[in-house]
């Protein structure tokens, strides 16, 4: 079973609240970017031989009025329950309302994880405002996926995306599984150190064509963090077909690709 642990719901309905300036910045960076319908996403998965994919909600309503709702993601999962895995998102600035929404998303909507984008929230991951959300996520037993590293949302600041902040979170919430998206580039040495020293921290390669992954990250995938690396696409930013093809061209040791695309994602998500 091949599992994509990180992809976007970029349907027209999902991105209707994306600020215009951010939309322009994405179009400039990803010139061929289209807004696929669910059927396009399924086709991309089928063409790449991917069985399941995580799709994520986004809640940055307080700061940027940008929201891909949990209900919208849950509706997509209901349409393709054997293919999609929904991750919720909440805005920690909303306090108890965020906690109520996270509990609803998990217990009523069936969401299997939480996605947070610190730069859209204008909060470092170790900010005390975030901690009540982590406490609940840990109690609910769901993994938390953080954007780390560079990003292309115009008007936001990259400083919130440094992976070192996740070390505090990992130590303070040792029972909560944490995923460091995009391996923290350009701070990937820092990111790998956080992954290596914390048993509860994983990282993914989402958003990267494999041939462009730094060689030192590949060395880590072949060695000390082989059981922590996760396949993710960030589709539609990168097609799964391209990723799967280029993975076969990387100098990965025997068994590493299977860990990356199947065994590690299954362990993260509790899939038998």
Phi and psi for 185 in degrees, rounded to 5?
-55, 135
Which phi-psi region, left, alpha or beta, contains residue 218 (left: φ > 0; alpha: ψ -120 to 50)?
Answer: alpha
Identify the residue whose tokens are 């995580």.
Answer: 54
| Both structure tokens of 96 | 């108890």
Backbone angles phi, psi at 86, to 5 degrees: -90, 135
Q: What is the mean pLDDT of the chain?
A: 94
CATH number at residue 148: 3.20.20.140
According to DSSP, the residues that pair with 4 across neighbouring strands are 53
pLDDT in tens, 32-91: 667 789 999 999 999 999 999 999 999 999 999 999 999 999 999 999 999 999 999 999
The DSSP secondary structure of 42-106, one letter per residue, reads: HHHHHHHT--EEEEE-EEEHHHH-EEE-HHHHHHHHHHSTTTEEEEE---GGGTHHHHHHHHHHH
Q: CA 106 to CA 179: how far, in whole Å?
A: 18
Q: If you average pLDDT over residues 233-240, what whole number do you get?
A: 93
What does the pLDDT look like over 93-120, one tens digit per residue? 999 999 999 999 999 999 999 999 999 9
Tell how strand 58-60 and strand 66-68 pair up: antiparallel
List of residues 6+ apart from 139 with CB closer than 8 A: none
pLDDT digits (tens, 9 = 90+) for 189-207: 999 999 999 999 999 999 9
**Strand, helix or coil at 6?**
strand
Ramachandran class of 68: left when φ > 0, alpha when ψ lies in -120 to 50, beta otherwise: beta
Q: How many domains does one find in the chain?
A: 1
- pLDDT above 70 for 25: no
Distance CA 133, CA 181 (A): 19
Q: Maximum distance among all alpha carbons in the chain?
A: 48
> Which comes out higher in pLDDT, residue 270 or 153?
270
Neighbours of 205 (CB within 10 A): 28
Instruction: Report pLDDT digits (tens) over 4-23.
Output: 999 999 888 877 777 777 66
Domain that holds residue 248: 3-269
Q: Please report how many Cα atoms fall inside a 13 Å half-sphere around the Cα of residue 225, on the Cβ side.
A: 29
- Using alpha carbons only, what angle is made at residue 84 by residues 81 and 85, rounded to the nearest 5 degrees? 100
């Amino acid at each position: 079973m091949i599992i994509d642990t990180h992809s976007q719901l970029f349907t027209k309905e999902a991105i209707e609240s994306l600020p215009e300036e951010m939309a322009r910045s994405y179009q400039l960076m990803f010139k061929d970017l289209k807004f696929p319908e669910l059927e396009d996403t399924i086709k991309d998965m089928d063409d790449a031989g991917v069985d399941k994919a995580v799709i994520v909600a986004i809640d940055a309503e307080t700061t940027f009025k940008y929201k891909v709702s949990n209900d919208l993601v849950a509706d997509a999962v209901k349409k393709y329950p054997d293919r999609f895995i929904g991750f919720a998102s909440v805005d920690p600035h909303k306090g108890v309302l965020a906690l109520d929404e996270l509990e609803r998303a998990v217990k009523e909507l069936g969401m299997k994880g939480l996605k947070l984008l610190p730069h859209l929230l204008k909060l470092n991951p170790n900010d005390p405002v975030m901690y009540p959300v982590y406490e609940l996520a840990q109690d609910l037993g769901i993994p938390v996926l953080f954007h780390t590293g560079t990003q292309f949302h115009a008007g936001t600041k990259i400083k919130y995306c440094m992976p070192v902040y996740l070390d505090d979170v990992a130590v303070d919430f040792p029972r909560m599984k944490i995923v460091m998206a995009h391996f923290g580039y350009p701070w990937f040495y820092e990111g790998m150190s956080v992954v290596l020293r914390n048993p509860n921290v994983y990282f993914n390669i989402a958003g990267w064509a494999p041939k462009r992954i730094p060689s030192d990250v590949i060395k880590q995938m072949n060695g000390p963090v082989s059981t922590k690396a996760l396949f993710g696409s960030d589709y539609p930013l990168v097609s799964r077909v391209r990723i799967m093809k280029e993975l076969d061209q990387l100098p990965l040791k025997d068994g590493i690709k299977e860990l990356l695309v199947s065994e590690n994602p299954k362990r993260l998500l509790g899939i038998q």
